[in-house]
Structure 1
Amino acid sequence: MKTKNYILVCIALMLSFSALSQQGKQKRADTLFNKFSFVKAAKVYRELIQNNYNKDYATRQLADCYAFLRDPRNASRFYKNVVKQKNVPIEYYYKYAQSLRGMKKYDDSQVWLQRFKDSGGVVNSNDFSKDVNFITSVFGAKQQYFLDRIRFNSKFSDFGAFERNGKVYFASTRDEGVSIKRLYGWNEQPFLDIYVADVGTKKNVDHTAKVKGDVNSIYHDGPVTITKNGHTMYFSRNNFTEDIEKKDKKGLTNMKIYRATLQDSIWTNIEDLSINSDDFSTQHAALNVDETKLYFSSDRPGGYGGSDIYVVDINIDGTLGEPQNIGNVVNTESSEGFPFINNEGVLFFSSDGHPGLGLYDIFGTIKDEDGGIVDVINLGVPVNSNKDDFSFTMNENGITGYFASNRKGGRGDDDIYAYHRKPVLHVEGVVTDAINTNPVPNSIIKLYDDKGNQIAYMKTDENGYYQINIDRNQDYKIVANQDKYIDDYREFTSKNIQTELTTITANLLLNPTPNVIKLAELNTIYFDFNQYNIRKDAALELDKIVSLMQNDYPDMVIRIESHTDSRGNLTYNDKLSIDRANSTYEYLISKGIAPERITEHQGFGERRLTNGCEDGEDCEEKDHQLNRRTQFIVVKME
């Protein structure tokens, strides 16, 4: 009996020690997790799951570890088990949906996003679930970016490539070839440093390519942006100055943006900027075109989500103004970062809150006429993938640049990708009225290819403007049509044009269609023999012409031609016809017709008879009457 009791006590003690051991292991895993040491934390959580200790909790934590490590395959594997748990927080439905999106399982992702919403969850206002056709539209869009090979990636993390004056600067954890390595607990890689290499280099870039000077510390440094003159650098770094690392109230070391100047090929005079704080992160510096504004990302209080993009004025003396959040067209409830401004002033950034193909995607912005950002656009494939895509930059030529991604097929963790772009080409123009040069709104625009096939159709806006995207290396014909106008067309080509060219202009001019019935009212008027005064019947006809010109065709221009019969000598008849033209002209002017609307009033004597009643011919008076006339010619409706 004693032996049995002894055995039971031993078993109880062993179970107690085992429980204490597992409890200590969970505490250690949680501590590692809270310190962002996700690689080590994941290992311990896996052990807890294998030992069936607090398995539901450990599975949730393990799935979150893989999510923070940007590993959607393993994250979705464990989130799949998490969402089956009883009373699981509904936020895991959303996390599972996001991990499925990272696996290109878009239909499944939609299912779990809907379940999250049905359970009372609030989906980001910019989430791609709002547009069920988003994925199709992105993959079906015409490709504008094409990838080029980069030879200086490593097996570690490389990103933030920025080109300036023939050099490419980038951030990397490739700290190989040094005797002492310090590892970042989040992903067990060395800390980031800033490197520089010649553009197009084919050589291995090792630790000897670190930028010279004081910008690289023992913690994270990079990415960077550099002014056009090459003298000033803005760069991200952990809150580490004068060999002192500062932490916030939670014990975390935040990021800051520092400024350095180039002196004798050395980056020095490190300056902690006024926009920084020990209590939140400020990073990812970018300059606008004239270098008067600094864009950056920050998780400072008052934003819309995890991190937002801000802008601050750079004063002439180098001091900074008050940061301004650029608004909720760009910023979402999730995270935005890595801003970049190209030479056209377009803001690019990365986000996991806007409709995307995976985790972080790269977006461009659309501005209105006043320069305000009104929308964002996903850059599509191949720039974006189902993984993280970020740190987009564009070179000054507007055609080439870089971005980073941890997509499948790379050499290391995050890799730098170069691209060249073929900008979208479009034909644009204005349709105007040929008479008064006013725009013709709602004109029908049809675009045809070189085989006569109609490939586009649209209407001009209220300003008579149209714009249609077209392919390069093609011949086209564009036709404008509108009621009461004669069609106009232009033939043009997009062959052999520069890559940088994005616009072909084809303005179209529409002549109003003559109104046959109305113009018939420009009747010929007649005169008595050897007279040039306006008869009553002629006055009635002239009044009709006045009404037509003032009311129906207020911009119409005419010409007056007057004639005589053949009786009398040639010189006399020439003068008589001029008198008839003058009297007709003066009558119209007296009724309010502007002189400039009558280009000419000429007399032709007996030179243009309408019948055979020439000198010596025996004609009746009614036949001679047909020659004593004034006619009206429409100048701009011929």
Structure 2
Amino acid sequence: MKMKKLLYTTFLASVCFNGMAQKRVLDKADKEYNQYAYIDAISIYEKVADVGHKDEKMFQRLGNAYYFNAELTKALKWYDALFALNDQQEPEYYYRYAQALKSVGDYSKADKMLETFNQKVKADSRGILFENNKNYLEQIKVNSGRFDISDTGINSNQSDYGSTVFDNKLVFASGRDTGTVARKTFRWTNKSFTNLYASELKSDGSLENPIRFEKKINSKFNESTPVFTKDGKTMYFTRNNFLRGKKGKDDKSITLLKLYKADFVNDKWTNVTELPFNNDQFSVAHPALSPDEKKLYFASDMPGSLGQSDLYSVAINTDGTFGKPENLGSAINTEGRETFPFISGDNELYFASDGRPGLGGLDVFVAKINEKSGFDSVQNIGEPVNTQFDDFAFIIDSSTRKGFFSSNKEGGKGNDDIYKFTETRKLDCEKKLAGVIRDAQTNAVLSDTKVILFDAKFQQIAEVTSTTDGNYNFDVKCSKSYHVRAVKKEYETNESAISITPSADKEELDIKLEKQIKPIAVGTDLAKTLNIPIIYFDLDKSFIRTDASFELEKILAVLKQYPEMKIDVRSHTDSRQTAQYNIVLSNKRAKATIAWFVKKGISTNKLTGKGYGETQLVNKCSDDAVCTEEEHQLNRRSEFIIVSMK
């Protein structure tokens, strides 16, 4: 690499003096970029930019080169320059810019970029998730503070990440110096290739100095993210496309990632074979086993993926063969990166994603796997595990609540570091939904009421009976919507909807029931008894509106049920116009209402009526008062007072 850098310096020495030389340098950088040698490309592009050259394509590639290497704060410098030069970019640049802005805590500007991104590509789930979760920082705050984390003490100045626990050892990937004379480097990053290492777990939680894993597993290319079966006889791991001394490449001559399997025979790992769903043309990586070891989960960009990498599962048959990989679907995957899956002992899927609202870079998320192999709501596990940088490869012991994760956050020793943690409070996302059933008129509590809980699609979940003090409660899940229905004899059934927030300890939903049979007597206002809206007439009008006709049918039904009943129709106006005008208008409204009943067959001797104008306002909206149109409408009403029952 020193010779390469010397050559680049020679090229760049003439940049200020020769435009053709500058073009040759940029062409060289473009070639490096297109071959995914991002660090080499950065070296060239930055030197050109440092002499004052401004080029949109160059700024895009500088930003991307750092972005793809998870150096978001450095990417921000060039995305800033890009948008300063031209703020009309392809949609993906708004998303990358937002992620880079989050790396320095500028969430306000990041959210504006995400809003623009969502406007430009309305069907992208990343934008939709942001649009539907604009309070994501508040939600993350609620989920935060649940972990005590510390350094593992085994990190090097290279990359250390992707750990698993096996045989009381922490097995992980590391790019640390292996002591060879010529260290091999990965051209994408100019960093060392990673091999697997193992570190003994001591009783006090500390770790012994790591030693290299078996030579049969480690190759001259990248190995990472191992997982082992419980009996210790099988391991799955990630490696570059390299087996038995042969390196595979895709159509662009890039060596991608594959999953491999090895057997433990006679105290040695052997029989390294690649899994049958690998392919030279796409990557398959980061295996995880289900608790029953009947499924293998992994990340891939295989055809059919929704985003840059998706999570998949594949059945492991009893004879050791594999089924067909299945995409976990849009409940988990986005157009961004979903990667590093882990399935806990209590059947929760932990994974890293940069496609969901988060703190920046890759965040760790969790979703419960339900009985139908679907997923409950996805939640960000919060700080301090998640930061403004890449946080990933989260594993946890479901019994001890201890585990490990990887991050390139600030303050680490190397490019990526492994941290250990203890979870002090579970993110169970289950709460109590409780309330009281009451009589709507008397406010008395109603016992022995059937209360039914439905999900958002009206599928019944549970049913209880209210206690002697009218109480009921259900177990519900955060961030989900429900319907609660109360049913009691002699009462009208009532139903209310509620969305469960993750913030409060308990959700409360009281429900009031109206009696089916309501007492009436002389002086009763039928409009109130029948819950008829009090707004009937438009401004300065006396005709019966269509919506009023529907409500008047209720009064008509009562008059027909009680043929001896007589009612007095009392019409009121708001205070606008003069008092005299309003008296005239309200009289017209009373007469129009009576005429409606007569037309429907009610005898005129059963009906009286009068207009009261603005003399009986129900609020403060008298002359010269400043009121809204809605407040004025409350005064434009009719009352139906029973004056006789015989």
Q: TM-score range by the shorter chain?
A: 0.5 to 0.7
Partner of 1:441: 451
Tell me: CA distance 1:220–1:80, structure 2 relative to 1, closer, same or farther (3 Å): same
8 Å CA contact 2:114, 2:127 repeated in 1:
no
Structure 1 residues 431 and 120: CA distance shift in structure 2, 3 A? closer
Q: Give the match for residue 308 of structure 1.
A: 310
Q: Per-residue CA shift, 1:519-575, capped at 9, x if unaligned? A: xxxxxxxxxxxxxxxxxxxxxxxxxxxxxxxxxxxxxxxxxxxxxxxxxxxxxxxxx
In 2: Cα distance, 1:338 partner to 1:347 partner: 10
DSSP 3-state at the match of 2:76:
helix
- Write the distance in 1 (CA, Å) between the matches of 2:157 and 2:418: 11
User: CA separation of 1:121/1:94 partners in 2, compared to 1, >3 Å: closer, same or farther?
Assistant: farther
Matched, 1:282 2:292: no
Q: For 1:431-470, what aligned pairs fall within 5 Å after superposition?
A: 441=451, 462-463=463-464, 465-467=473-475
Query: What is the rounded CA distance, in whole Å, between the counterparts of 1:295 and 1:431 in structure 2?
Result: 41
2:115–2:127 Cα contact (<8 Å) kept: no
Contact 1:289 1:345 in 2 (8 A): yes
Structure 1, residues 313-365: CA drift from partner, whole Å, max 9, x if none?
11111111111111110011111111111111111111111111111011111
Distance 2:59 2:262 in 1: 45
Whole-angstrom distance in 1 between the partners of 2:15 and 2:191 = 38
Partner of 1:239: 241
Check whether the contact 2:164–2:170 (CA below 8 A) recurs between aligned residues: yes
Corresponding letter in the other structure for 2:336: S
In structure 2, distance between residues paired with 1:93 and 1:396:
38
| Structure 2 residue identity aligned to 1:74 | K
Task: Compare CA radii of gyration and give the structure with the larger one.
Answer: 1
1:210 shift after superposition: 1.1
Contact 1:334 1:353 in 2 (8 A): yes
Match of 2:549 in 1: none
What corresponds to 1:257 in structure 2?
A: 259
Q: Aligned equivalents of 1:102 and 1:54: distance in 2?
A: 24
Q: CA RMSD in A?
A: 3.2
CA spacing shift, 1:149–1:80, aligned 2, 3 Å = closer
- Do structure 1's residue 62 and structure 2's residue 66 form an aligned pair? no
Mean Cα deviation higher: 66-75 or 285-294: 66-75
Post-superposition CA distance 1:206-242 (Å, at most 9, x none):
5xx1111411110011110000011111000000011
The equivalent residue for 2:81 is 81
Q: TM-score, structure 1 length as denominator?
A: 0.64
What corresponds to 1:29 in structure 2? 29
What SS is found at the alignment partner of 2:24?
Answer: helix
1:462 aligned counterpart, secondary structure: strand
Deviation at 1:50, TM superposition (A): 3.0
Q: Any unmatched runs of 5+ in structure 2?
A: 1-13, 437-446, 454-460, 465-471, 478-486, 490-646
* Residue of structure 2 equivalent to 1:18: 18
Give the total of aligned pairs.
440
Structure 2 partner of 1:588: none
The CA distance in 2 between the partners of 1:23 and 1:431, in whole Å, is: 72
C-alpha spacing 1:439/1:195, structure 2 compared with 1 (3 Å): farther
| Separation of aligned partners in 1, 2:300 and 2:431 | 40
Residues 498-577 of structure 1 aligned to structure 2 (within 5 Å)? none
Contact 1:224 1:236 in 2 (8 A): yes
Structure 1 position 119, deviation (Å):
5.2
Between the aligned partners of 1:22 and 1:140, the Cα distance in structure 2 is 52
Kindly tell me: are residues 383 and 439 of structure 1, through their superposed partners in 2, closer, same or farther at Cα, counting changes over 3 Å?
farther
Deviation track 1:135-168 (CA, whole Å, cap 9, x = no partner) reads 1221233532221331111111111111123111
Question: Whole-Å Cα distance in 1 between the matches of residues 314 and 448 of structure 2?
Answer: 43
User: 1:103 maps to which residue?
Assistant: 104
Query: Against the structure 1 CA distance between its residues 297 and 16, is the aligned structure 2 distance closer, same or farther, given a 3 Å change threshold?
Result: closer
Compute the displacement of 1:87 (Å): 7.1
Instruction: Name the counterpart of 1:205.
Output: 209
Is 1:299 matched with 2:301? Answer: yes
Once structures 1 and 2 are overlaid, which stretch shifts more, 66-75 or 423-432? 423-432
Q: Deviations over 1:44-75 (max 9, x none)?
A: 00122234456332222111111112122121
Tell me which amino acid in the other structure corresponds to 1:180: A
Counterpart for residue 47 of structure 2: 47
Secondary structure at 2:140 match in 1: helix
Identity of aligned residues (%): 32
Shift of the 431–267 alpha-carbon distance from structure 1 to 2, 3 Å rule, reads farther
Contact kept, 8 Å, 1:239 with 1:278, in 2: the verdict is yes
Residue aligning to 2:325: 323
In the TM superposition, what whole-angstrom CA distance separates every residue of 1:464-504 from its partner, at most 9, and x where no partner exists?
653489xxxxxxxxxxxx999xxxxxxxxxxxxxxxxxxxx
Change (3 A) 1:185 1:317: same
Q: Given residue 101 of structure 2, which amino acid in structure 1 is its aligned partner? A: L
Corresponding residue of 1:93: 94
Structure 2 residue aligned with 1:557:
none
1:563 corresponds to which residue?
none
Contact 2:16 2:51 in 1 (8 A): no
Of 174, 183, 186, the match for 1:184? 186
Correspondence for 2:541: none
What is the alpha-carbon distance in structure 1 between the residues aligned to residue 15 and residue 278 of structure 2? 52
> For 1:376 and 1:468, how far apart are their aligned partners in 2?
15
Alpha-carbon distance in 2 for matches of 1:195, 1:181 = 16
